[in-house]
Each structure stands twice: as C-alpha cells, then as structure tokens.
Amino acid sequence: MARYVDIHPDNPQPRLLQQVVDALNDDQLIAYPTDSGYALGSRVGNKDGRDRILRIRDLDERHHFTLVCKDFSQLGQLVHVDNSAFRAIRAATPGPYTFILPGTPEVPRRLLHPKKRTVGVRIPEHAFVHALLDLLGEPLLSSTLIMPGETEPRTNGWDVKETLDHQVDVVVETGEDTPAEPTTVVDWSDSQPEVLRQGAGDWSRFS
C-alpha cells in the first residue's frame, strides 16, 4: 500500500518533506501535486522508476520524460538552450510549460528520446515542488499522471491513492485539488518552437 503524506500547501513541514526525500533516495516512486495536476516522480538515478512510470501510463520507449528543475540554472545544466530559445523559456518559467530540448551529457542516455536525444524540462510554480527539489538537491524525473485512456491528469490525492495504491510507494497530498490541465509542451529542439500539446498557460506565445 502507498504511504499517504499530507503536507501543508504553502509551508511544507520539514519533517514530512524529509520523509518524501528519503523515499526518493530509497528509489521509491511518488505521486505528487504540481501546478498542472498530479505527476509521477522518481530520482533521476532510479533505473526502475523510469520503467514503473512507463508501465503505469502504458507508454513506450519514445515517451519524453520530464526533468523537473528548481530553477533556470539547474535546467541549463541538463539541456542545450540556444539564443533563440533562451529568453522566451526564461520568461515562461516558473510555470506550467514543458520544453523539449537536446540533452547534455548530464542526462543519462536511458532518459533521452532514443532517436532525437532530447528530454523534457520544466520549472513548476508550486510551493511544495520547490521545497522538495531544494531539499532533494537534484532534478526529479517526472511524468504527468494521465492514466491510459484518459486525457487529463489526476487532481486529487485520495483519488490517486485509490487508483495507484499498489503501484506507487508514496502519495503526497497538499489539501487542495490541483488544476486539471496538463502542461503545455513545446518542442524547441530545432531553431523554431513547435507546440506539441496545448495545455495550461498561454501556449499561443510559442506559436
């Protein structure tokens, strides 16, 4: 059964945050709230975490994983951002946007798209996620929690626990339903941005 951790949305309790970080460092899989619905998360170095996310979401090897970052400096260590993209991406973060960009050598090859060598990156605007990443000290391997056959992410912790009680190790609750709209996904692996998914935020700024 998944452990259910109820954390304050604006001032996350250090003791409970540490429990979630300890679970991640123990290679456990978490379901956690963001500014665009729930997501699945594991430590970048957790090889099994990637495979568990693919199984839960019924996705194949071509799925673009997202590395959730605490700030733009951390993001810049993971992906190549050219001059045409730098200003626009920086202006849009933090926020509900995922950007597909070429990975740097910092990103394990198994997390990159098998042909394009790209990966998703984003900086959420969410107090719990910021506190978690700060304590974890590294990016979080993540994927929006959209179940097979569905088009919107899960938004409620108890619902996530009932659905995935035996498939994840920890479910984080912050007391409020999260927005039901997934992130807007922008592929900026070429010189021009391409909106792959119209979601939360003003996606027209990239079209």
Q: Is the peptide bond before 94 cis (omega within 30 degrees of 0)?
A: yes
* pLDDT computed for residue 63 by the predictor: 85
Q: Which two tokens stand for residue 125?
A: 């605007």
What parts of the chain have a pLDDT lower than 70? none
Is residue 203 left, alpha or beta, with left meaning phi > 0 and alpha meaning psi from -120 to 50?
A: alpha
CA 78 to each of CA 9, 89, 101, 116: distance values in angstroms, whole numbers, following the listed order? 28, 14, 9, 15
* pLDDT computed for residue 19 by the predictor: 97
* pLDDT computed for residue 77 by the predictor: 94
Domains of the chain, each with CATH number or no CATH: 3-206 (3.90.870.10)
Rounded Cα gap, residues 92 and 176, in angstroms: 24
Q: Are strands 37-43 and 194-197 parallel, antiparallel or unpaired?
A: unpaired
Q: 47 near 110, Cβ under 8 Å?
A: yes
pTM of the model as a whole = 0.94
* pLDDT computed for residue 28 by the predictor: 98
